[in-house]
A = this chain, B = another copy of it.
């Protein structure tokens, strides 16, 4: 996943949520174009505690990603074509790069993406758009990734149950 247009002061928490959503729904890696060490540290701390594999880095130019012909590039934007219409045309046998912008996205992102996809044509949230797109693409399988971290949450009807994993090494 490629995160673009991050403004360190304003977007720290939104970009962190974007990264954690990508991780929880099975993405392998997030690249944040604009450098923000605090976001990277925060996400790596979650990976350390709750498990990986999941990579995050920031301060990486985006154009090489947009020009990589070996991956399918999906840009999420409220101006795109409806997710429901596009998803059946995405080749699941290829690697996928999902591009999530903030308020201003350069024109070339629209042009170089294979698909500009709208998760609804109403303004809402890049966090919600990413989550809904990944879920529409993969269904419940989006939640199938097994994480091996120091702690694991146990589903519970009324409380909070957290236990250390049996191999609590974090690896």
A108 to B158, CA, bound (A): 10
Asked if residues B124 and A23 are in contact (CB atoms below 8 Å), the reply is: yes
A69 to B121, CA, bound (A): 35
Chain B residue nearest to A152 in the complex (CB): B121
Asked if residues A123 and B24 are in contact (CB atoms below 8 Å), the reply is: yes
- Residue among A10, A11, A153 facing the most chain B CB atoms (10 A cut-off): A153
Asked if residues B125 and A21 are in contact (CB atoms below 8 Å), the reply is: yes
Residues of B within 8 A of A162 (CB): 79
- Asked whether any CB of chain B lies closer than 8 Å to the CB of A96, the reply is no
- Asked whether any CB of chain B lies closer than 8 Å to the CB of A147, the reply is yes
Asked if residues A155 and B81 are in contact (CB atoms below 8 Å), the reply is: yes
Residues of A122-149 contacting chain B, CB below 8 A: 122-125, 127-128, 130-132, 135-136, 140, 143, 147
Choose among B13, B80, B135, B155 the residue that contacts A118 (Cβ–Cβ < 8 A).
B155
Asked if residues B155 and A121 are in contact (CB atoms below 8 Å), the reply is: yes
Residues of A within 8 A of B (CB): 10-11, 13-14, 17-18, 20-21, 23-25, 46, 50, 77-82, 84, 110-111, 116, 118, 120-125, 127-128, 130-132, 135-136, 140, 143, 147, 152-162
